[in-house]
Structure 1
Amino acid sequence: MESEVTVRVMLVSPAMNAALREARFEGDAPLDESGVRRARAAAAGVPDAELCVSGGSERCLRTTEALGLRPGPEPAPADWDLGRWRGRRLSDVSDSEPEAVAAWLSDPSAAPHGGESLSELCARVGGWLDGLGEDRGRVLAVVEPAVVRAAVVHGLGLPATAFWRLDVAPLTLTQLSGRLGRWNLTCGQPLVSEGR
């Protein structure tokens, strides 16, 4: 009987920045000084990996740098494309487009912002996850919280609406280990203790 090799995908959510504090749809804002300090303090808690990748947002790239990581040339999945809502506060969009926000939150196929629907995000991230070959070993990816949530939804075969029930704190580690069609989850491990 052949042994089945597993891959371990370690997803690190980036440090805090002003856009996250203000509940803005990603506007590709850089880390602030507090985020840089916290990421540097968390560097010792980052696990080793054979492959390191980073999302392309400024927040992911600066977090990767502050953690002392050198990502390979292969990119990690990009953040959720929220079209014309990008850079706006959730509260502002809710005030100006309540029906659109309600549809977006209740229907995984809705994309009233003109970007990617939740279903499309989960499928894209799931395709990346399933495309990681078993020969990859340990893969470390610094990715936006929406990507972490979509990976968990896909990896565990959850309905897309479960995405809204998952919280991903800054600088936490979420691990999916397994292989195509069978993933196990370890979630929410802080990279740095609260006392640091």
Structure 2
Amino acid sequence: MLISPALNAALREARFDGDAPLDASGGRRARAAAAAVPAADRRVHGSDERCTGTAKALGLRSEPELALRGWDLGRWRGQRLAQVSRDEPEAVSTWLSDPSAVPHDGESLLDLHARVGGWLDSLHGEGADDGSVLAVVEPAAVRAAIVHALGLPPQAFWRLDVAPLTLTELSGRPGRWNLRCGRSLSIGTDETTAAHGR
């Protein structure tokens, strides 16, 4: 089970950086959603500040999981998407069309898929617990997990929207995953609507 974190200022401003603390509004919404979080045998969170803060606000006793950290977008980190698109239109076009491209000198889309997919596959197999796992992870990690689990082409990543404070459930095993798409944990719709598609 994957929970996308609450919004923070960086995401509200469409910046290439989710690794910042929750703002007051995001913290309030996460605390309000705590009662809707399902039980799990094991709880983890991406090592980013936003995921750590969301897990804490949801009342989860979870451990950081490095494999579920946010997407490393290198030198674009902290910049607005609109500004990078104006300054480097060809680089952005390449990034969006070639899953192996790293014009930002960070992590390619294929590398992100491999990292998140590897973690997902590690949940089953020799030495793995058979219990349920709940992870608070950045939207990019949720999208990468869905692409991997369903065997979709890498470009499908760009066609998946993950709203804040939603639960995405993957059940099954490697090669045979089933998907239950994002159920909102948030009691309000304004934040979910505003961030849809980011």
Same fold (TM over 0.5): yes
| Residue identity in the other structure for 1:155 | A
Which residue identity lines up with residue 154 of structure 1 in the other structure? H
* Separation of aligned partners in 1, 2:18 and 2:44: 21
State the Cα distance separating 1:195 from its structure 2 match.
7.3
- Report the residue type matching 1:113 in the other structure: H
Contact 2:10 2:20 (C-alpha < 8 Å) held by counterparts: yes
Aligned residue runs from structure 1 range 164-175, under 5 A: 164-175=158-169
From 138, 159, 162, the equivalent of 2:132 is 138
Moved over 4 A (4+): 73-76
Residues 76 and 142 in structure 1, CA contact (< 8 A), matched pair in contact too: no
For residue 150 of structure 1, the aligned residue among 121, 144, 154 is 144
TM-score by length of 1: 0.91
Q: Is the 8 A contact 2:95 2:101 kept in 1?
A: yes
Q: CA deviation at 1:73?
A: 5.9
Work out the number of aligned pairs and report it.
187
Q: How large is the Cα RMSD of the aligned pairs?
A: 1.5
Task: Note the residue ranges of structure 2 that are not aligned, 5 or more in a row.
Answer: 191-198
Q: How far off is 1:193 after superposition?
A: 3.1
Q: 1:180 to 1:195 in 2, by over 3 A?
A: closer
* Partner of residue 119, structure 2: 128
The one-letter code matched in structure 2 to 1:38 is: R
For structure 1, list consecutive stretches of 5 or more residues without a partner in the other structure.
Answer: 1-9
Q: Does 1:85 align with 2:72?
A: no
SS in 1 for 2:68: coil
Cα deviation 1:66-99 (Å, max 9, x = unaligned) = 0000113654511111111111110111111000
Q: Which has the higher contact order (CA 8 A, sep 6+)?
A: 1
Matches within 5 A, 1:14-53: 14-26=5-17, 28-53=19-44
CA distance in 1, matches of 2:30, 2:116: 24
Q: Distance in 1 between matches of 2:154 and 2:185?
A: 27
Q: For 1:48 and 1:157, how far apart are their aligned partners in 2?
A: 27
CA contact (8 A) 1:53 1:75 kept: no
Q: Percent identity?
A: 71
